[in-house]
């Protein structure tokens, strides 16, 4: 039984931590004396991808990188995309390449990821970078989990020796998150949809990272009092979710006003009464991802041009 605590968790302000990181990136670029180049490749017209790629290129310019979007037709063949990637690999002005996922169905994303020069793989998805990360060696690390580590560090809570539980085992978030926590000497448990008795494992977590993609999957009774809770999930729900949100005044108000509302995987209103630190959604993990991408581009430029 989790005892009720009088103290409400402190918020981890992703916008503020991301701003600090962006300032570090600006300073690092000023020191480099050249502008690292980042190319964001988009194939087709998926509206979400359009927004992500535009935001990435814009942020790159804002911080002093040379950001460029490469927009390709929806009907592009796999071979044509691989040829574009090859061209970018050989372009000396390009330090970072990212190919926005998902890709149209005629293109196998694994072949495209495998084709990116690992030295320019700023998303950290190439098998070479994945392997290096799991061996605890320097690598270009996936941006969202790297951002989560930075958020945990911002609390001052030590990762070293902590029990960490990651819910989710995707290649993009869950697995690299677990590897990064392990690299920092946490004892790490990875949970997923086949985990038996999830709550018995999460209740043991000093650091709990939820990367599931299901709203309110982490409830207050699953959280150890005083835990640090990082909510990666981004789930848009509509009015049909209103009853399940009745206890959350702020989200209910937004839902009534806008007809939909963005939720994490964590029941924020109740978990914040149990945890010591918690990320909000939006404004927690989200802002970190693009900032980390910019840092990865600077790292890639430094290493490649050294
Ligand atoms: P994903 O590939 O769908 O992986 C979800 C993981 O959750 C899977 O490993 C799945 O298990 C597990 N899972 C599903 N239902 C579960 C349950 N009931 N109990 C325990 N585990 C369960 O998703 P993803 O790409 O990792 O993304 C996860 C969430 O993070 C999404 O909401 C996504 O939008 C968000 N996200 C946010 C950012 C950001 O910048 N803020 C970046 C990336 C992702 P199995 O492996 O067994 O299927």
Architecture of the 35-117 domain:
3-Layer(aba) Sandwich (3.40)
Omega prior to 282 cis, within 30 of 0: yes
Q: Is the pLDDT of residue 4 over 60?
A: no
What lines the ligand 1 site, CB under 6 Å?
A: 144, 167-170, 172-174, 191-195, 198, 211-214, 217, 232-235, 285-286, 289
| Confidence at residue 1, expressed as pLDDT on a 0 to 100 scale | 45
Nearest atom, ligand 1, residue 281 CA: 41
Question: Looking at the DSSP assignment, which residues form a beta bridge with residue 190?
Answer: 166
Q: Which of 220, 212, 227, 186 lies closest to 285, judged by CA?
A: 212
Confidence of residue 2 (pLDDT cuts 50, 70, 90): very low
Atom of ligand 1 nearest to the CA of 192: 21
H-run or E-run covering 188: strand 187-191
Check pLDDT > 70 for residue 297. yes
Mutation pick for ligand 1 pocket among 147, 193, 262 (CB with most ligand atoms within 8 Å):
193
Is there a contact between 232 and 217 (Cβ–Cβ < 8 Å)?
A: no
CA proximity to 215, closest of 198, 236, 201? 236
* Interval 129-143: pLDDT, tens: 999 999 999 889 999
Report the distance separating Cα 288 and Cα 19, nearest Å: 9
Give me the mean pLDDT over the 269-282 stretch.
98
Phi-psi label, residue 87: left if phi above 0, alpha if psi -120 to 50, beta otherwise:
alpha
What CATH architecture is 142-287? 3-Layer(aba) Sandwich (3.40)
Instruction: Write down how long the chain is.
Output: 306
Q: Are strands 260-263 and 235-238 parallel, antiparallel or unpaired?
A: antiparallel
Report percent pLDDT > 90 for the chain: 96
For the stretch 103-131, pLDDT in tens is: 999 999 999 999 999 999 999 999 999 99
Please report the atom of ligand 1 found closest to the CA of residue 174: 26
CA–CA separation, 208 vs 222, rounded Å?
10
Q: Mean of the per-residue pLDDT values for the chain?
A: 96
**pLDDT (mean) for 71-88:** 98
Instruction: Summarize pLDDT for 222-241 with one digit per residue, the tens.
Output: 999 999 999 999 999 999 99
| Domain spans, the chain | 35-117, 142-287
Mutate to test the pocket of ligand 1, among 213, 290, 291 (most ligand atoms within 8 A of CB): 213
Q: Taking the mean position of all CA atoms in its chain, how far away is CA 218?
A: 18
Q: List pLDDT tens digits, range 9-37.
A: 999 999 999 999 999 999 999 999 999 99
Please report the pLDDT score of residue 5 as a whole number: 53
Can you tell me the distance from the alpha carbon of 115 to that of 286, in angstroms, rounded to the nearest whole number? 27
**Spatial distance between the Cα atoms of 268 and 254, rounded to a whole number of angstroms:** 14
pLDDT score for 152: 98
Torsion of CA 76, 102, 175, 79, to 10 degrees: -10
Q: Do 35-117 and 142-287 agree at the fold level?
A: yes
Question: Which residue's CA lies nearest to atom 15 of ligand 1?
Answer: 193
CB atoms within 10 A of CB 3: 6
Q: Which residue has the higher pLDDT, 265 or 7?
A: 265
Atom of ligand 1 nearest to the CA of 286: 41
Q: How far is the CA of 23 from the centre of ligand 1 (A)?
A: 30
The confidence score (pLDDT) of residue 138 equals 84
Q: What percent of the chain has pLDDT over 70?
A: 98
> Cα(192) to centroid of ligand 1, in Å?
9
Region 273-293: mean pLDDT is 97
């Amino acid at each position: 039984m989790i005892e009720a605590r009088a103290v409400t968790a402190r918020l981890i302000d992703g916008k503020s931590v991301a701003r600090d990181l962006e300032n570090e990136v600006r300073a690092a670029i000023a020191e480099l004396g050249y502008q690292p180049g980042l190319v964001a490749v988009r194939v087709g017209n998926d509206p979400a991808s359009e927004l992500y790629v535009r935001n990435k290129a814009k942020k790159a310019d804002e911080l002093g990188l040379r950001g460029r979007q490469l927009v390709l037709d929806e009907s592009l063949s796999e071979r044509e995309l691989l040829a574009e990637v090859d061209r970018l690999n050989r372009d000396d002005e390009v330090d970072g390449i990212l190919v926005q996922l998902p890709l149209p169905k005629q293109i196998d994303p694994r072949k495209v990821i495998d084709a990116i020069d690992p030295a320019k793989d700023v998303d950290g998805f190439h098998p070479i970078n994945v392997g290096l990360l799991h061996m605890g060696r320097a690598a270009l690390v996936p941006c969202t989990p790297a951002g989560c580590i930075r958020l945990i560090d911002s609390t001052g809570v030590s990762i070293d020796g902590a029990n960490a539980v990651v819910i989710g085992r995707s290649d993009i978030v869950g697995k690299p998150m677990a590897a990064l926590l392990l690299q920092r000497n946490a004892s790490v448990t990875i949970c997923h949809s086949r985990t038996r008795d999830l709550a018995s494992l999460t209740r043991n977590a000093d650091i709990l990272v939820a990367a599931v993609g299901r709203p309110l999957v982490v409830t207050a009774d699953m959280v150890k009092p005083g835990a640090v809770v990082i909510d990666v999930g981004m789930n848009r729900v509509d009015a049909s979710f209103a009853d399940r949100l009745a206890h959350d005044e702020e989200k209910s108000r937004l839902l009534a006003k806008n007809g939909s509302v963005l939720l994490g995987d964590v029941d924020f209103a109740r978990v914040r009464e149990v945890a010591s630190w918690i990320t909000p959604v939006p404004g927690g993990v989200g802002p970190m991802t693009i900032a980390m991408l910019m840092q990865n581009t600077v790292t890639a430029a430094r290493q490649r041009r050294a």
